């Protein structure tokens, strides 16, 4: 499924950035939100959180 | 030695438990989560799982639930019902429509209150809505504690999405007066979604869900986006003129007309006869959700006449068509409000007592494409009981947070934690050779996913050689395939002749045009090249979207060291 001529120097090339995200409110319930709140409070990333 | 085990047993029994409460205008429910993780709704001492939110006073005794509700006939003025929505409001703000058949709300220093005779030989006392709520919650908690054999000190309570801060505060204050700590108030539609996701062991797929909470005196709808197991409400709608009471009215009118025909007098002119007919009509409505016909029998309904009748489901459905139409309209309106198409809705959850009616589920199923899951008893054999969804959701959340400090719970509800950036467009991999091809897009992160988020997918390589992975943003569009235009001229002629008939026919024509949901690539964000990949190899693509909108991308041939990583900076 992937193809195309490769004309770049490096193996990765960035073309642009994502459309600006919109602020919305999460519903504070369920196990995944509680994990999200925990990460946010302790300023952890996903992978740091996975290790604990 | 012999005393010790006993002490331990007593201690274990004394460990307070946190329950889930769904507190409605018409009915309330109590639920708990058993040690094996299953949420269950508790029946009170009358055996009811849907406990009417009604309190009644007679000869010094307080009645609650169904017992109190039965007193709407003989002791209406000392019976308090439909008070939940009065909480935290001023007297001027409330709509007392539903209280006409019971104790009327009175103005007490600008706040709604009820005047009831608690004791026979004493003057009537004025009970604030807060006081009534306290008494109601206390009775609910007592029923739960009796069933569980454990003290109940705290609860998670469900509230509608349009409940104001003042209403929440009034609820928490009323609970405190009943020695109940409300750990959290959660939104009814999300509680319903939580009940279903518990069924999937909390590994829910990304879905967009329409929740229709069809209650007794109001209907509330919400669009809930489930992304990575987290819930975001995209839109809500409310109709305070719609609900089970409308269907009761339909039946009351039907039976009253029949009574008039037989006895030449109208039972609706007498409040007691009307109360009897209302109660029985509601019972008939419930029966019609499970049986195709239902009997009605009221002894000495009016002017000393007994009344017996039956109605079948088909007749009821015909009489209720307008109410069903309004429910469908409310659902459609909510989808529009979220700026979505009916095709964007993956699942519809029907919640609330009125959701038991089979016709409502089938009518809703008709507006959605085949394959949209409609979770209601009539359309899904594995559906959960719609009346129990809110209470169960509350019980699940209660079990999750009962070990937490109150401080932690309040902190996690803080906007600093709950407000998060959500993706405006879908992010995924362009699978087809040309970026303009709409079909060849594989979504890694859906629109409205809260950041940070991560998405991952595997692709099988079709030929030896280099592989180029294109990460792109895409927009959903609705592709319409018009039906064959051959019949057109004939139809227009008809239009002029007979208006209504041709309207219906053209509706049918429109149904034949095919509407599909497709993805259009807006722009390629990044490309990565993997060299020397063999046919049948698997390529794993991972994207990590950061809170600032930056994107980490990794592509890797599964089981090898062959991989590429890269970063896209957030827009300035």
What pLDDT is attached to residue A1?
A: 43
A49 touches chain B (CB under 8 A): no
The stretch B149-168 carries a mean pLDDT of 96
What is the tens place of the pLDDT at every residue in B7-28? 555 555 568 899 999 999 999 9
Distance, in Å, from the CA atom of B490 to the CA atom of A14, rounded to the nearest integer, reads: 56
Q: Which contiguous run of DSSP H or E holds residue B148? A: helix B129-148
Q: Is B234 exposed, middle or buried (0-12, 13-18, 19+ CB in 10 A)?
A: buried
Structure tokens at B91: 């007297």
Partner-chain contact A17 B415, CB within 8 Å: no
What pLDDT is attached to residue B499?
A: 46
pLDDT band at B367 (very low <50, low <70, confident <90, very high): very high
Interface of B with A in 514-533 (CB under 8 A): 522-531
Pairing of strands B27-33, B373-375: unpaired
Distance, in Å, from the CA atom of B256 to the CA atom of B252, rounded to the nearest integer, reads: 6
- Our measurement of the distance from residue B553's CA atom to the centroid of its chain's CA atoms, rounded to an integer in Å, reads 37
Interface of B with A in 419-438 (CB under 8 A): 419-425, 427, 431-433
Q: Is the separation of the CB atoms in B219 and B235 below 8 Å?
A: no
Residue A6, min C-alpha distance to chain B (Å): 8
Pairing of strands B551-557, B207-214: unpaired
Indicate the range of B118-122, B138-142, B234-238 predicted with least confidence. Answer: B118-122
Highest mean pLDDT among B166-180, B201-215, B482-496 belongs to B166-180
Question: Where do we find the tokens 């109001």?
Answer: B218
Structure tokens at B475: 């927009």
Q: Is the separation of the CB atoms in B383 and B36 below 8 Å?
A: no
Chain B residues close to A33, C-beta within 8 Å: 229-231, 412
Interface of B with A in 157-196 (CB under 8 A): 184, 186-187, 190-191, 194
Query: For B426-483+513-568, CATH number?
Result: 2.60.34.10
B200 touches chain A (CB under 8 A): no
Chain A residues close to B431, C-beta within 8 Å: 1-2
The stretch B334-356 carries a mean pLDDT of 97
What pLDDT is attached to residue A51?
A: 63
Chain A residues close to B569, C-beta within 8 Å: 14, 17
pLDDT band at B433 (very low <50, low <70, confident <90, very high): low
Q: Which of A15, A29, A40 sits opposite B524 (nearest CB)?
A: A15
Average model confidence (pLDDT) across chain B: 91
pLDDT band at B199 (very low <50, low <70, confident <90, very high): confident
B231 touches chain A (CB under 8 A): yes
Per cent of chain A over pLDDT 90 is: 44
Q: Which of A11, A16, A25 sits opposite B418 (nearest CB)?
A: A25
Q: Is the separation of the CB atoms in B289 and B247 below 8 Å?
A: no
pLDDT band at B4 (very low <50, low <70, confident <90, very high): low
Q: Which long-range contacts (CB under 8 A, 24 or more apart) does B127-133 make?
A: B127/B80, B129/B83, B129/B86, B129/B87, B129/B105, B129/B170, B130/B87, B130/B170, B130/B173, B130/B174, B130/B177, B131/B174, B131/B177, B132/B55, B132/B80, B132/B83, B133/B83, B133/B84, B133/B87, B133/B170, B133/B171, B133/B174, B133/B175
- Position B2 pLDDT exceeds 50: no
> Residue B325 CB: number of other CB atoms within 10 A?
11
- Position B3 pLDDT exceeds 90: no
- Position B484 pLDDT exceeds 90: no
Q: Which of B186, B421, B531 sits opposite A29 (nearest CB)?
A: B186
Distance, in Å, from the CA atom of B338 to the CA atom of B358, rounded to the nearest integer, reads: 27
Distance, in Å, from the CA atom of B71 to the CA atom of B465, rounded to the nearest integer, reads: 81
Q: Is the separation of the CB atoms in B474 and B521 below 8 Å?
A: yes
- Position B167 pLDDT exceeds 50: yes
**Quick one: CA dihedral B21, B19, B71, B116, positive or negative?**
negative
pLDDT band at B489 (very low <50, low <70, confident <90, very high): low
Question: Phi and psi dihedrals of B509, rounded to 5?
Answer: -60, -45
Indicate the range of B250-264, B304-318, B439-453 predicted with least confidence. Answer: B439-453
Distance, in Å, from the CA atom of B221 to the CA atom of B225, rounded to the nearest integer, reads: 13
Listed residue (B379, B422, B378) closest to B227, CA to CA: B422
pLDDT band at B456 (very low <50, low <70, confident <90, very high): very high
Residue A51, min C-alpha distance to chain B (Å): 16
Q: Where are the domains of chain B?
A: 5-92+120-179, 244-319, 426-483+513-568
| Partners of B62 in beta bridges | B57
Low-confidence stretches of chain A (pLDDT < 70) are: 1-5, 47-52
What is the tens place of the pLDDT at every residue in B530-568? 988 888 899 999 999 999 999 999 999 999 989 999 999
Sequence-distant (6+) residues with CB within 8 A of B121 are none
Nearest residue on chain A to B432, judged by CA atoms? A1
What is the tens place of the pLDDT at every residue in B57-110? 999 999 999 999 999 999 999 999 999 999 999 999 999 999 999 999 999 999
What pLDDT is attached to residue A42?
A: 80
The stretch B309-321 carries a mean pLDDT of 98
The stretch B372-378 carries a mean pLDDT of 97
- Position B506 pLDDT exceeds 60: no
Q: Is the separation of the CB atoms in B17 and B402 below 8 Å?
A: yes
**CATH superfamily ID and name for B244-319:** ATPase, substrate binding domain, subdomain 4 (3.90.640.10)
Partner-chain contact B523 A15, CB within 8 Å: yes
Query: For B5-92+120-179, CATH number?
Result: 3.30.420.40
What pLDDT is attached to residue B498?
A: 47
């Amino acid at each position: 499924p992937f193809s195309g001529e490769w004309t770049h120097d490096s193996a990765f090339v960035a073309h642009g950035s994502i459309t600006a995200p919109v602020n919305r409110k999460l519903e504070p319930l369920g196990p995944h939100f509680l994990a999200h709140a925990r990460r946010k409070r302790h300023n952890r990333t996903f992978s740091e959180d996975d290790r604990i | 030695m012999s005393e010790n085990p006993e002490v331990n047993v007593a201690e274990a029994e004394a460990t307070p438990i946190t329950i889930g409460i769904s507190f409605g205008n018409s009915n309330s429910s109590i639920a708990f989560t058993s040690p094996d993780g299953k949420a269950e709704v508790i029946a009170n001492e009358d055996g009811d799982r849907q406990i009417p939110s009604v309190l009644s006073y007679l000869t010094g005794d307080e009645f609650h639930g169904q017992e109190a509700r039965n007193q709407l006939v003989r002791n209406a003025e000392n019976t308090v019902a439909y008070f939940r929505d009065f909480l935290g409001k001023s007297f001027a703000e409330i709509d007392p429509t539903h209280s006409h058949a019971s104790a009327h709300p009175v103005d007490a220093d600008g706040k709604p209150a009820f005047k009831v005779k608690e004791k026979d030989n004493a003057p009537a006392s004025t009970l604030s809505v807060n006081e009534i709520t306290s008494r109601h919650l206390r009775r609910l908690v007592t029923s739960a504690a009796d069933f569980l054999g454990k003290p109940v000190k705290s609860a998670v309570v469900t509230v509608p999405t349009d409940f104001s801060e003042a209403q929440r505060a009034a609820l928490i204050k009323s609970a405190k007066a009943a020695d109940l700590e409300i750990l959290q108030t959660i939104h009814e539609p999300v509680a319903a979604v939580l009940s279903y996701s518990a069924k999937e062991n909390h590994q829910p797929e990304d879905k967009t869900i329409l929740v229709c909470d069809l209650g007794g005196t109001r209907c509330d709808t919400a669009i809930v986006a489930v992304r990575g197991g987290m819930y975001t409400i995209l839109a809500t709608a409310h109709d305070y003129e719609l609900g089970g009471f409308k269907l009761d009215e339909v039946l009351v009118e039907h039976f009253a007309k029949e009574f008039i025909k037989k006895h030449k007098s109208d039972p609706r002119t007498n409040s007691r006869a009307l109360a009897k007919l209302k109660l029985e009509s509601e019972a008939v409505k419930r029966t019609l959700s499970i049986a195709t016909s239902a009997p009605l029998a009221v002894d000495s309904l009016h002017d000393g006449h007994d009344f017996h009748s039956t109605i079948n489901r088909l007749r009821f459905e015909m009489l209720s068509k307008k109410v069903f139409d309004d429910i469908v309209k409310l659902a459609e309106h909510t989808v529009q409000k979220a700026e979505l198409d009916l095709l964007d809705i993956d699942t519809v959850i029907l919640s609330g007592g009125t959701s038991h009616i089979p016709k409502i589920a089938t009518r809703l199923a008709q507006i959605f494409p085949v394959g949209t899951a409609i979770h209601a008893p009539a359309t899904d054999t594995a559906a959960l009981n719609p009346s129990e969804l809110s209470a169960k959701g509350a019980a699940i959340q209660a079990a999750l947070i009962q070990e937490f400090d109150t401080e932690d719970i309040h902190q996690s509800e803080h906007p600093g934690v709950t407000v998060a950036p959500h993706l405006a467009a879908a992010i995924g991999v362009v699978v087809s050779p040309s970026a303009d091809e709409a079909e060849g897009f594989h979504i890694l992160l859906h629109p409205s996913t809260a950041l940070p988020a991560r998405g991952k997918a595997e692709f099988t390589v079709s030929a030896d050689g280099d592989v180029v992975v294109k990460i792109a943003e895409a927009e959903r569009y609705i592709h319409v395939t018009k039906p064959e235009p051959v019949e057109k001229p004939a139809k227009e002629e008809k239009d002029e002749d007979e208006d209504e008939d041709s309207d219906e026919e053209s509706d049918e024509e429109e149904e034949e045009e095919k509407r599909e949901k497709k993805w259009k690539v807006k722009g390629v964000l990044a490309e990565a090249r993997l060299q020397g990949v063999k046919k049948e190899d698997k390529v794993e693509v991972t994207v990590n979207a950061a809170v600032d909108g930056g994107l980490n991308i990794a592509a890797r041939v599964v089981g090898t060291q062959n991989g590429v990583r890269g970063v896209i900076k957030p827009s300035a």
